[in-house]
Amino acid sequence: MIAQFIDGPLWYFSSIVFVLGVLYRIFLIIKAGVKPDLAVPRQNGTFGAVRTMFSRFVPRRDIAKRGRLQVVAGYMFHLGLFVLLFFAKPHVDFFAERVTGVGWTPVPYWVFIVSAELAFAGLLLLWLYRLMHPVTRLLSSTGDHVGTGLVFLVMLSGCLALAHSFEALRLTHLLLAEMLLIYFPFSNLMHAFTFIFSRGFTGALMARKGINA
Amino acid sequence: MSKNFLAGKAELNQQIDARVSAYFSSCVHCGLCAEACLFYTETDDPRYTPIYKLEPMRRLWREEHTFWGKLAVKLGLAKSLTEQDFADWEELVYDSCTVCGRCSMVCPVGNDLAYMFRKQREGFSKAGYAPDGLKAATDRALTIGSPMGVTLHTLKATLKHVERSTGLSIPIDKKGADYMTLFSSMEIVNFPEYIESIARIFDAADVSWTISSTAFEATNSGIQIGSKEAAAEIVNRVVTAAEDLGVKHVISPECGHAYTAIRWEGPNLIGRSYPFKVIHILELLDQLHREGRLKLSGTTDIPLTFHDPCQIVRRGGVVEPPRNLLHVVASDFVEMRDHGDMNWCCGGGGGVSANERAEELRVKVFDRKKQQLDELGVTTMVTACANCRLVLEEGLEHNDMLMDIIGLSELVAEHLSE
């Protein structure tokens, strides 16, 4: 009964909350509006917006040095998670069956293992840093820890489910993923979508002034 | 709850646009912005983390623009923004931020924190939570016409000295001139050599120029304190004068915030485009040199470096012109390790130098510039902002550093071909 609920109604409910929640947050941003810039630009803002969306993936030299641990751990976590989420075989099958209708080539098992290790190590390093460094300790809210904790549990249960192939573990993983989907639009996990706006706005504004931001 | 606080809160809420909403939605509290801020790097005080200084605005955004925030306040699970928050953050908002925008260049999610600082100050200023020094400067700018109380008589007295030392006649209110030039109060009072230099350069390059008797002041305290009404009035004076004289260009002087105010914010403050172009003095000098109108000869072989004024370079986009000019007139010009759009601020921009309460902190964070200069071992520093120059001179004095500081326009004038 619980299994059917997790596999069925809860999955649809969490997916709807996720999609509508994300769209609502994006709507709120757009609704707030931006006044047109009347200053004569030096360059086209649109090109700058696109450029900054990509250029911010590479940290500035000074920051790469001063914030080395966060930069490296951040890359480990995000790249590892990206591979796990979109290229682990069970996820590819799941997307094909329930979301996209078509599948794609998953990564080999050893790549999955490496990605999982990178993602875990990165996430734990970032979490420890958040707890221990005076700056991140001051900035961090309960929401930051809830988000990190949920992502950690989803990853942990997913790896255990793949390693042991127990139905109970698969259901636990799905239940936690569903909780994450519901929590997502109400948290700063939203940065996964809104970073495009942030980088775009800044890139456009600065490009108009002639600066590659 | 005071009336001013409510007005300030309403103003702050009005400042939350799509950009600010996207920025707060994206922030993951990584704290990397701290590593780009000299107030943090030189003190290790986590309160000086740029995004933390924006906490009042973030709280209001959460309270007014997010589902959870609204719900949490209604259920009593979160506190609404209070007047005490304004009081608690005033020092962080005005004393420990020069709005230099270095943090904006490093945020992994692309947040332009300087844009948010500028907006947050609108709310603080409206609520009355701004430093006395900045309030007084803004009052003087609105009533007298200059934040330092410089009047037309003061300017004319300075111009007389310039005319005597150069033998040139300084044009005032010349209709139809190509260029109308502005000065910062500091240039008129502390660095009249700037006025002398451009008079000589314009004469040599046969530039048609004038000064307006009704709008010669470039400094815009409204931008610094965060009052769009005051800022608009100051910009409007310049626009009206330029239109009355029918000039083709307005020249922004060696002053950082003046350039941001007149070039980038001005049209948005007054709600219309200008019928003239705004050009920075360094852009003009570079252009005149490239056109062959400004003939320079000889180079200085003194080892020197260039301090990039944040609002002219990183936030203004005038990156190459100073370098082009320096390469022409200096044979031993060396860059600081972090330069151009990643320069470190002098520590006194954004109204910090006009804020007496911030002096101790400003002197402390000069350590960053000291380290940069110590690495190079040069004996001369060139800059292009009168405010930077004054702050740098104080910093050098405080640290017993022997170094000359010169404005770039002066250096160029020293190399005019006979």
For B136-162, what is the mean pLDDT? 96
- The C-alpha atoms of residue B315 and residue B320 are separated, in whole angstroms, by 13
Same domain assignment for residues B281 and B332: no
Into how many domains does chain B fold? 3
Preferred mutation among A70, A131, A135 to probe B, highest tally of B CBs within 10 A: A135
A166 — pLDDT class (breaks 50, 70, 90)? confident
Structural domain contains residue B298: no
Q: What is the reported pLDDT for B78? A: 87
% of chain B residues with pLDDT over 70: 100
Same domain assignment for residues B40 and B179: no
Q: Model ipTM?
A: 0.96
- Chain segment B57-85, per-residue pLDDT in tens: 999 999 999 988 999 999 998 889 999 99
Same domain assignment for residues B144 and B278: yes
- The C-alpha atoms of residue B413 and residue B11 are separated, in whole angstroms, by 46
Structural domain contains residue B246: yes
Q: What is the reported pLDDT for B88? A: 98
> Which of A67, A200, A209 is opposite residue B317, by nearest beta carbon?
A209
* Chain A residues 2-41 with a CB less than 8 Å from chain B: 24-25, 28-35, 37-40
Q: Which domain holds residue B331?
A: 304-414
Higher confidence at residue B267 or residue A166?
B267
Q: What is the reported pLDDT for B323? A: 98
Q: What is the reported pLDDT for B216? A: 97
Instruction: Provide the mean pLDDT of chain B.
Output: 97
> Is the predicted pLDDT of residue A170 greater than 90, yes or no?
yes
Same domain assignment for residues B138 and B98: no
> Is the predicted pLDDT of residue B215 greater than 80, yes or no?
yes
Structural domain contains residue B20: yes
- Chain segment A57-83, per-residue pLDDT in tens: 999 998 999 999 999 999 999 999 999
Structural domain contains residue B296: no
For B53-58, what is the mean pLDDT? 98
Classified as helix, coil or strand, B291 is coil
For residue A211, give the DSSP letter: -
Q: Phi/psi of residue A168, each to 5°?
A: -60, -35
With b for 16 or more beta-carbon neighbours within 10 A and e for fewer, the B5-19 pattern comes to beebbebbbebbbbb
- Chain segment B219-246, per-residue pLDDT in tens: 999 999 999 999 999 999 999 999 999 9
B3 — pLDDT class (breaks 50, 70, 90)? confident
Q: Between chains, do A206 and B32 touch, taking CB under 8 Å as contact?
A: no
Q: What is the reported pLDDT for B95? A: 98
Contacts of B115 in chain A (CB under 8 A): 202, 205
Same domain assignment for residues B285 and B319: no
Contacts of A59 in chain B (CB under 8 A): 106, 108
Q: What is the reported pLDDT for B250? A: 98
Same domain assignment for residues B277 and B143: yes
B23 — pLDDT class (breaks 50, 70, 90)? very high
> Is the predicted pLDDT of residue B388 greater than 80, yes or no?
yes
Structural domain contains residue B295: no
Instruction: Provide the mean pLDDT of chain A.
Output: 96
Same domain assignment for residues B151 and B285: yes
**Helix or strand holding residue B250 (H, E):** strand B249-252
The CATH number assigned to the domain holding B139 equals: 1.20.1050
Query: How many CB pairs below 8 Å do chains A and B form together?
Result: 169
Q: What is the reported pLDDT for B364? A: 97
Q: Between chains, do A32 and B65 touch, taking CB under 8 Å as contact?
A: yes
% of chain A residues with pLDDT over 70: 100
Same domain assignment for residues B398 and B374: yes
CB of A55 less than 8 A from some CB of B: no
CB of A211 less than 8 A from some CB of B: yes
Same domain assignment for residues B126 and B154: no
Q: What is the reported pLDDT for B336? A: 97
> Is the predicted pLDDT of residue A164 greater than 80, yes or no?
no
Extents of the domains making up chain A: 1-27+60-66+141-213
**Nearest CA to CA, how far is A121 from chain B (Å)?**
17
- Chain segment B286-313, per-residue pLDDT in tens: 999 999 999 999 999 999 999 999 999 9
How remote is the C-alpha of A196 from its chain's centroid?
12
Beta bridge partners of B407: B383
Contacts of A40 in chain B (CB under 8 A): 267, 273, 277
Q: What is the reported pLDDT for A108? A: 96
Q: Between chains, do B49 and A137 touch, taking CB under 8 Å as contact?
A: no
Contacts of A136 in chain B (CB under 8 A): 29-31
Among B230, B258, B290, give the residue marking a domain's end: B290
Burial group, residue B227, by CB count within 10 angstroms (0-12, 13-18, 19+): buried
Q: Which of A144, A26, A154, A148 is nearest to A85 (CA)?
A: A154
- Chain segment A101-160, per-residue pLDDT in tens: 999 999 999 999 999 999 999 999 999 999 999 999 999 999 999 999 999 999 999 999
Contact indicator for B36, B159 with CB cutoff of 8 Å: no
Q: Between chains, do B68 and A139 touch, taking CB under 8 Å as contact?
A: no
Same domain assignment for residues B146 and B124: no
Q: Between chains, do B36 and A40 touch, taking CB under 8 Å as contact?
A: no
The CATH number assigned to the domain holding B32 equals: 1.10.1060
Same domain assignment for residues B65 and B140: no
Classified as helix, coil or strand, B296 is strand
Q: What is the reported pLDDT for B68? A: 87
Contacts of B18 in chain A (CB under 8 A): 29-34, 197, 201
Among B290, B325, B343, give the residue marking a domain's end: B290
Structural domain contains residue B297: no
Q: Which of A208, A196, A210 is nearest to A52 (CA)?
A: A196
Among B246, B267, B290, give the residue marking a domain's end: B290
Order of strands, edge to edge, in the sheet holding B179-181?
B209-210, B179-181, B249-252, B277-280
Q: Which DSSP string corresponds to B125-169? A: HHHT-S-HHHHHHHHHHHHTSSTT---HHHHHHHHHHHHHHH--P
